[in-house]
């Protein structure tokens, strides 16, 4: 099979690395890709948000048998629907199901209607009513812009002043553009052991009939050690989640995963693809913080290396709605991904810095914002490389990953030194 993966980042490189291992995959393509994907796939220089340009390219390349749409924005505008209409087989939800991530108002209403545990919330399109509500509820309180905002449209406000300023930013100043026309205001969840509450990402394959959770992982969203600084797209991940247990798994499967799959079917929005559950363990049980309609980044970088089953077999089983017939197996042990970012990220940063890579030991380098310029490897984004290592335990994998980081340099490179240290006491 010849497979096209749509997207540019670390997640897409990780998907391509997993597909490269498949016995059935011949040629790989990546639109647009980066310097890492170019090593194992043919990079295609087409803007994937330009649906007619994507269709033109796919139409001219009938040898492409299967297309994986990985990022949220092309899913939200219905790229899968368009490609399927051309007779292509795809991995990723259609537009009417991708809304589970693309609209927080939709997902909150879905959870309310089908009794899926989540933070209590109200939805507003009127600024004055939203302000009244915030004043009545008091802080801490969480504000969420309705639409897609590069993972930055959520404000966890410690006091009322912050909340009032945040509301103005989102609804009046339109800091996140049209994503802030509608706002979700919700209670701030308390963790069972930690403040803020302890979070876990559980990704699941689903074909609308069956839902199969993958191994668990945890993300480090803040830019600096000790969860200080601004939120980012993710500064590192590790798998498995230390506080996960058989009991929690059952609770999540019975009360969250299956009900979500059934709810989407009941709404006429069957979800096929990877459904990502951002969960929090609270003093009142496991609750949904957010849904994503796709693989997480950088969660994918620590999940797929542990997959023993051929990823292409899993993708096709989802497409053909026979997920119940296959067994998905995972390696024992742990995996850690340390993200190396450009200086200044998540705010302004320079591009085009030359990257030198020496001895990186046992780690695998997953490329995100990299490019080749005049024959040299250079930075080309905020998150540049993921250094991924496996081990018997998280500590073991962590040591290997950080050892490899020592071999990599560019001017201004920054990273967290505490990836994998969260939730160590369960
Ligand atoms: P989201 O983009 O929805 O994942 O939210 C970003 C981050 O905000 C999450 O990873 C949590 O750390 C935090 N957060 C979101 N909703 C809540 C909530 N209701 N209570 C506490 N923290 C939250
Ligand atoms: N790592 C969080 C996300 O992919 O949304």
Report the pLDDT value the prediction gives residue 163, as an integer from 0 to 100.
Answer: 96
| pLDDT > 80? residue 417 | yes
Distance CA 302, CA 307 (A): 10
Mean pLDDT, residues 355-360: 94
CA torsion through residues 193, 219, 295, 301, sign: negative
Strands (E), 71-149: 89-91, 121-124, 141-145
Structure tokens at 335: 């995996």
In DSSP terms, 340 is beta-bridged to: 385
- Percentage of the chain modeled with pLDDT above 70: 98
Q: If DSSP codes are grouped into helix, strand and coil, which group holds residue 321?
A: coil
| pLDDT > 80? residue 425 | no
Distance CA 159, CA 259 (A): 34
Q: Is the CB of 179 under 6 A from ligand 1?
A: no
Tokens 């030198």, residue? 356
Maximum distance among all alpha carbons in the chain? 60
| Substitution site in 281, 289, 296 for ligand 1 pocket (most atoms within 8 Å of beta carbon) | 289
CA of 219 to the centre of ligand 2 (A): 8
Of the segments 145-149, 183-187, 318-322, which one has the largest average pLDDT value? 318-322
Q: What is the pLDDT of residues 97-122, one digit of tens each?
A: 999 999 989 999 999 999 999 999 99
Q: Residue 354: pLDDT band by 50, 70, 90 thresholds?
A: very high
Mean pLDDT, residues 62-88: 98
Q: Is the CB of 77 under 6 A from ligand 1?
A: no
Tell me, rounded to whole angstroms, the distance of Cα 320 from its chain centroid. Answer: 24
Q: What's the full length of the chain, in residues?
A: 426
| pLDDT > 70? residue 403 | yes
Give me the phi and psi of 398, to 5 degrees please. -60, -45
| pLDDT > 80? residue 22 | yes
Structure tokens at 57: 């390219």
Mean pLDDT, residues 19-29: 97
Q: Residue 231: pLDDT band by 50, 70, 90 thresholds?
A: confident
Mean pLDDT, residues 305-313: 98
Give me the phi and psi of 147, to 5 degrees please. -90, -175
Distance CA 184, CA 103 (A): 10
Q: Residue 195: pLDDT band by 50, 70, 90 thresholds?
A: low
Report the pLDDT value the prediction gives residue 387, as an integer from 0 to 100.
Answer: 98
Q: Name the pTM for this structure.
A: 0.95
Pairing of β 334-341 and β 383-391: antiparallel
Mean pLDDT, residues 55-82: 98
Q: What is the pLDDT of residues 243-255, one digit of tens each?
A: 999 999 999 999 9
Give the residue, 177 or 355, on which the prediction is more confident.
Answer: 355
| pLDDT > 70? residue 151 | no
Report the pLDDT value the prediction gives residue 426, as an integer from 0 to 100.
Answer: 61
| Substitution site in 156, 189, 222, 228 for ligand 1 pocket (most atoms within 8 Å of beta carbon) | 156
Tell me, rounded to whole angstroms, the distance of Cα 253 from its chain centroid. Answer: 20
Distance CA 156, CA 117 (A): 19
CA of 363 to the centre of ligand 1 (A): 31
- Neighbouring residues of 80: CB distance < 8 A, sequence distance ≥ 6: 69, 90, 92, 93, 94, 95, 98
Q: How many CA atoms lie within 13 A of 133 on its CB side?
A: 20
| pLDDT > 80? residue 418 | yes
Tell me the pLDDT of the chain averaged across its residues.
95
| Ligand 1 atom with the shortest distance to the CA of 121 | 19
């Amino acid at each position: 099979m010849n497979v096209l993966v749509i997207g540019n980042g670390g997640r897409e490189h990780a998907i391509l690395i997993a597909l490269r291992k498949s016995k059935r995959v011949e040629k790989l393509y990546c639109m647009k890709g980066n310097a890492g994907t170019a090593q194992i796939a043919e990079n295609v220089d087409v803007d994937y948000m330009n649906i007619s340009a994507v269709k033109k390219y796919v139409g001219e390349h009938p040898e492409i048998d299967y297309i994986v749409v990985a990022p949220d924005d092309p899913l939200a505008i219905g790229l899968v629907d368009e490609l399927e209409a051309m007779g292509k087989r795809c991995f990723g939800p259609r537009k009417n199901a991708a809304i589970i991530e693309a609209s927080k108002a939709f997902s909150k209403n879905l959870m309310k209607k089908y009794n899926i545990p989540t933070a209590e919330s109200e939805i507003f399109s009127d600024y004055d009513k939203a302000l009244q509500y915030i004043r009545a509820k008091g802080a801490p309180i969480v504000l969420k812009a309705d639409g897609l905002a590069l993972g930055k449209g959520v404000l966890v406000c410690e006091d009322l002043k912050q909340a009032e300023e945040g509301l103005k930013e989102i609804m009046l100043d339109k800091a996140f553009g049209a994503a802030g026309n509608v706002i979700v205001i919700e209670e701030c969840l308390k963790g069972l052991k930690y403040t803020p509450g302890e979070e876990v990402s559980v990704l699941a394959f689903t074909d609308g009939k069956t839902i199969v959770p993958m191994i668990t992982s945890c993300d480090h969203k803040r830019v600096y050690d000790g969860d200080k600084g601004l939120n980012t797209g993710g500064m590192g991940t590790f798998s498995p989640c230390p506080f996960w247990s058989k009991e929690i798994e059952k609770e999540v499967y019975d009360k969250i995963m299956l009900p979500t799959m059934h709810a989407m079917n009941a709404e006429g929005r069957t979800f096929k693809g990877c459904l990502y559950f951002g969960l929090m363990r609270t003093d009142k049980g496991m609750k949904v913080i957010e849904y994503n309609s796709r693989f997480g980044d950088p969660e994918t970088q620590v999940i797929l290396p542990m997959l023993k089953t051929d990823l292409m077999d899993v993708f096709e089983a989802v497409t053909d709605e026979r997920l119940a017939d296959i067994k998905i197996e995972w390696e024992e042990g742990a995996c850690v991904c340390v993200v190396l970012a450009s200086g200044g990220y998540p705010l302004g940063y320079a591009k085009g810095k030359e990257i030198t890579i020496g001895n990186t030991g046992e780690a695998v380098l997953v490329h995100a914002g990299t490019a080749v310029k005049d024959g040299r490897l250079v930075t080309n984004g905020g998150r540049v490389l993921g250094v991924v290592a496996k081990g018997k335990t998280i500590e073991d994998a962590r040591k290997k990953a950080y050892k490899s980081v020592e071999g990599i340099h560019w001017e201004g490179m920054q990273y967290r030194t505490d990836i994998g240290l969260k939730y160590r006491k369960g």
